[in-house]
Amino acid sequence: MSALGLVGGLLQAVLVVGGAPLLLGMMRQVRARLEGRAGPGIAQPWRDLRKQLRKETITPRGTSEMFRVAPVLMVAMTLVVAVVVPFVGTASALPAVADLIVVVALLAHGSVAIALAGLDTGTAFGGMGASREVTILALVEPTALVAIFALSVRVGSTSLPEIVGSTLDDPARVVSPASLLAAVALAMVIIAETGRLPVDNPSTHLELTMVHEAMVLEYAGPRLALVELGTAMRLTVYLGLLANLFVPWGVATEPGVPALLVGAVAFAVKVGALGAALACAEVFLAKLRLFRVPELLAGSFLLAVLAVTAAYVLG
Amino acid sequence: MVHAIQLLNLAAGALLLTAVLVLWRRELPVIVRVFAVQGVALAALVAALAREEGSAELAAVAVGCLVLRGAVLPWLLRRALAGAGEVQRETRPVINVATSLLAAAALTLLALAVSRPLVDLAPTPASRAVPFAIAVVLIGFLVLVTRRHAVSQLVGFLLMDNGITAVGFLTTSGIGLVVEIGVALDVLLVVLVLQVLTGRMREAFGDTDLDELRELHD
Amino acid sequence: METLLVVAPFAVPALGALGYAAAGWRRATAGLAAVAAVLSLLAAALLAREVVVRGPLEAGPLLRADAVSAFMLIAIAAVAVLVALATPAHLATELAAGRIEPRTATRHVVLVQAFLAAMALAVLAADLGVLWVAVEGTTIVTAFLVGQRRTRAAVEAAWKYVVICSAGIALALLGIVVLNHASAHSGTGAGLDWAALAVAAPQLDPGVTRIAVVLLVVGFGAKAGLAPLHAWLPDAHSQAPAPVSALMSGVLLSVAFYAVLRVKVVSDAVLGPGFARALLLAAALASLVIAASLLIAQRDYKRMLAYSSIEHMGLLALGAAVGGPLATAAVLLHVLGHGLAKSVLFLGAGRVLQLTGTSRIADVRGLAAGQPVLAGSIGLGVLALIGLPPFSLFASELGIARAGFGSGTGWAVAAALLLVVVIGAALVNHTSRMVLGPRREGPGAAPAPQPLPRATAVALVAGLAACVALGLTTGPLTGLLAAAAEILTGAP
């Protein structure tokens, strides 16, 4: 628990909580511009959150504690990850928790909490969304773990600060088959876990196509604000993870105001760039039919296995 | 300047990735295009070996590979596909796509196990990429056995051949010039023969879906 | 002089192909194939005599003729003579019936000569790589011969043939590449020359060689019709025109098996005899079981002959698995005997197809009444195939059985003999229904007694007579067989 880790962790938490809705807003703006619309502006998600916080809290009849607690759980787990993962500095506030497997598990817990809440509502949409989400999750978790394994082979450990540090020391290793394959596999994992196209459409409310939206259909008011904030934070954290695992330049290596500032700016720029790229890609992609999703995920699993093979054989 | 060994590793990875894409995609024109990319990757592999060893002969072979496997063979495949009519997608493979992708993962691990003695015999940076090439051979065999369209089976056979050529170059930089020319010629002739047979199949059966070939059985 | 002698068995059919390509098929050129085949047989016989006396002869770094090559060349040439005698009549009947055009006939004879040249190159190759190129060349050359009739069944057969054989042979290529890797790192400069590999065996890495041997046996075994990659054989051999089926069943399968024998020499030297024995025993028993199960209820007589070829290739694999000089000499004798008997049967079956227009067993009745020579040849040919004395297959199967019971593989040989009996019963059952009995009216009966063309009759009778002669004594071939067995069992 070093100074760099503590200060960096606090800075990251503020950045992620404050910047996540802005990231979402930017992605929607990029998409709107590409589609020829004017768009609502980058700060719209914050305006939506403010509106929802002022509304009355409604709890559907027949729901239990799970429904009430799930949004808080999701935001809490994502916040822990945001504090602990080395986004701004190479040291972590809690090095024992900054392990790739632990991070993936924490983020998965968030998804599972929302899925349980969807089941808890007892409605058809909630159950349907939950079952679809868990199917996708079950297929995606092995890929995430195997891709992480590929990354950890050459470093010898799954500790995130070590992986980021070793990539900083030897940047040329990113251009190797193992890294590239793992990057592609992880990108597909992120798309599946955060519910973006082509796996799930984040702005649809059609019964045929909803996955994430179906689970949170019964939320309203402050709880909905928490859910939306949590979703945006998850996207930010995942994109930041992808950026720092493969392109860690700009990360602060020693504590000091200029280094931390550079780290924060670099983090924002990288996540922003990845988000914009994702938004551009979404303009051209159509949502996959649900029974085609296992194909995509099996392909990403295969790529992850190939990444591990490459790491063992060539690395 | 990209280091020669790094280029070799990337080319080997591209070889395997294109094999996986052939297994993954359903549209036949896309499969042929991906196969052309694999030809380029194979030529890059041989070029990296030529650079590593400073051999002009290998460089010439790399150019030959590029011409044959990156240009001529895909062109022949496109011609075979040209008259295939509307049936340009592999709609019902013997095992569905998700299962074949998982089978490819298993085959990659098998290739890793099988090539252990090969790599241990001569642990050079080049021979460390042999498991990739053997995985390409096994994936090509899987495509050959599980696809129903004539052109897909042809691409599967050519994948096997690309993989075997890669193994040859990675292990001992070739198996004698005469034999290599003979092998390349044989492959070219097999493709020509199969292209003509595809045409005859279309005349006799109406399209090149091999499921129609059910006349001969016991 | 030495070079000329080694190259002649390959050059003569090659020149024949060029000659036919230039002159086309007509009455005047009809005899060219027979002349070329007889010349090849003479060249092979001369080569055999030289090799027995002086040891292996070389022609450049890529061609070598030793006793085994010479024996295989004699087998190829003998079957080529029979086929060349029967081809003119076959093609003339097809042309007259309008089933093929003169251009197809020309292409047929050119491709057959090229086919013979490729097979000769395969057995004369000193280098495993050249052997592979020649064997793949035979697949390419015969692809259009198999699909010659342009019917749906023929096109399907040609497709399966090329795809399965090329896939199998690609596995053999991988085996060659792996073996080359082992050889290059053994420090002996042996390359792919099989004789040098046998000598350099102690320095070859066993793990790598094991992988190579499995791939080579499976790959070349596919071309030889051994299970598991045998599915192309019944289709291809039943759809090809009769002279081509005779050549393919009679010698092409044996040439592919010759490659397996060469690989076995290297395998035994590096890994000990047990490894190749296990592989070949598995392939042999699987092939015999498949042949037996699919022959019992067989309905098409050409497919019946094709399955019988699978059975005999299984017997060859069994003999090779048993090993030792007696079994190996028996295997080689079986190659020659099976080649002669099978080609007689396919030529006869081709004639039956032309007479009756059907290849179903149930539709052919009472052949003996209308076509005595043809029916007699077919009947005696089947008796030869099932291993009755005095035909040579009896002697070779007896040799394999004796060696097998003496060398510890008795259980496999006993199982194989049981399967052979079952197959024999099935073959006799089907053939007797076709050949014996009164002549029948209606579909399937020969329309009017057409006399058997003289050349075809000579081919059928000569083939059977040679088979009998071989069964009584190996005569001038004894020395050749002994020398060949010595080379293949690795005795110094």
The residue among C18, C225, C251, C237 whose CA lies nearest residue C119 is: C251
How far, in Å, CA of A314 to CA of C301, rounded? 56
Please state, as a whole number, how many other Cβ atoms lie within 10 Å of the Cβ of residue A227. 22
The predicted structure's pLDDT at residue C334:
94
Please work out, in degrees rounded to the nearest 5, the angle formed at the alpha carbon of residue C186 by the alpha carbons of C183 and C191: 30
How far, in Å, CA of C162 to CA of B144, rounded? 12
| C374 contacts: CB under 8 Å, gap ≥ 6 | C348, C351, C352, C367, C452, C460
How far, in Å, CA of B115 to CA of B113, rounded? 6
Q: Which H helix or E strand runs over B71?
A: none
Tens of pLDDT along C127-182? Answer: 888 899 899 889 988 988 888 887 888 888 888 898 889 889 999 999 988 888 88
Does residue B101 fall inside a structural domain?
yes
- pLDDT band for B31, please (50, 70, 90 cuts): very high
How far, in Å, CA of C198 to CA of C270, rounded? 8
Three-state DSSP state, C57: strand
Candidate from B99, B101, B128 with C-beta closest to A313: B128
Please compute the mean of the pLDDT values over residues C294-318 and round it to a whole number: 93
Phi-psi group of C360: left, alpha or beta (phi > 0 → left; psi -120 to 50 → alpha; rest → beta): beta
Does the pLDDT of residue B185 top 80, yes or no?
Answer: no
Q: Which H helix or E strand runs over C411?
A: helix C410-435
What domain range is C148 assigned to?
2-488
Does the pLDDT of residue A305 top 50, yes or no?
Answer: yes
Please compute the mean of the pLDDT values over residues C375-387 and round it to a whole number: 91
- pLDDT band for A300, please (50, 70, 90 cuts): very high
Does the pLDDT of residue C492 top 50, yes or no?
Answer: no
Structure tokens at A130: 């939950």
Q: B48-52 contacts: CB < 8 A, separation 24 or more?
A: B48/B4, B48/B5, B48/B7, B48/B8, B48/B11, B49/B8, B49/B126, B49/B169, B49/B170, B49/B173, B51/B4, B51/B7, B52/B4, B52/B5, B52/B8, B52/B125, B52/B126
When divided into structural domains, chain B yields a total of: 1
Tens of pLDDT along B87-128? Answer: 677 667 788 888 899 899 999 999 999 888 888 888 888 888
* Whole-number average pLDDT of chain A: 89
How far, in Å, CA of C389 to CA of C472, rounded? 9
Q: pTM (2 decimals)?
A: 0.85
CB-based contact B35:B158 (threshold 8 Å): yes
Q: How far is C204 from chain B (nearest CA, A)?
A: 10
Does residue B217 fall inside a structural domain?
no
- Burial class, A313, CB count within 10 angstroms (exposed 0-12 / middle 13-18 / buried 19+): buried
All residues of chain B having their beta carbon less than 8 Å from the beta carbon of residue C160 are 213, 216
When divided into structural domains, chain C yields a total of: 1
The predicted structure's pLDDT at residue C474:
78
Structure tokens at C355: 């007479």
CB-based contact A211:A202 (threshold 8 Å): no
Query: Nearest 5°: phi and psi at C64?
Result: -145, 140
Tens of pLDDT along C446-471? Answer: 556 677 888 888 889 999 999 998 88
Does residue B155 fall inside a structural domain?
yes
**What one-character-per-residue DSSP string does A122-133 give?**
--HHHHHHHHHH
Does residue B45 fall inside a structural domain?
yes
CB-based contact C311:C288 (threshold 8 Å): yes
Does the pLDDT of residue C30 top 90, yes or no?
Answer: no
Interchain proximity B179–C192, CB inside 8 Å: yes
Q: Tokens 């009849």 correspond to what residue?
A: A61
Interchain proximity B193–C137, CB inside 8 Å: no
Interchain proximity A306–B20, CB inside 8 Å: yes
- In the complex, which subunits touch A with 3 or more CB pairs below 8 angstroms? B
Q: Chain A 169-188, CB below 8 Å of chain B: which residues? A: 172, 175-177, 180-181
The predicted structure's pLDDT at residue A137:
92
All residues of chain B having their beta carbon less than 8 Å from the beta carbon of residue A180 are 10, 13
Tens of pLDDT along B125-152? Answer: 888 889 999 999 999 999 988 888 888 8
Percent of chain A surpassing pLDDT 70: 99
Q: Would an 8 Å CB–CB cutoff place A147 in contact with chain B? A: no
Q: What is the ipTM of this complex?
A: 0.90
The residue among C38, C68, C76 whose CA lies nearest residue C480 is: C68
Interchain proximity B20–A312, CB inside 8 Å: no
Residue C364 or C349, more confident = C349
The predicted structure's pLDDT at residue C336:
94
Interchain proximity C156–B216, CB inside 8 Å: yes
Candidate from A172, A180, A302 with C-beta closest to B13: A180
The residue among C265, C251, C319, C329 whose CA lies nearest residue C288 is: C319
Please count the residues of chain A.
315
- Burial class, A207, CB count within 10 angstroms (exposed 0-12 / middle 13-18 / buried 19+): exposed
What domain range is B84 assigned to?
4-212
Candidate from A172, A180, A305 with C-beta closest to B105: A305
- pLDDT band for C440, please (50, 70, 90 cuts): low
Does the pLDDT of residue A97 top 80, yes or no?
Answer: yes
Name the interface residues of B facing C (CB cutoff 8 Å): 114, 116-118, 120-122, 134, 137, 141, 144, 150, 153, 157, 160-161, 163-164, 167-168, 171-172, 175-176, 178-179, 182-183, 185-186, 189-190, 193-194, 196-197, 200-201, 204-205, 210, 213, 215-216, 218
| C87 contacts: CB under 8 Å, gap ≥ 6 | C33, C109, C112, C243
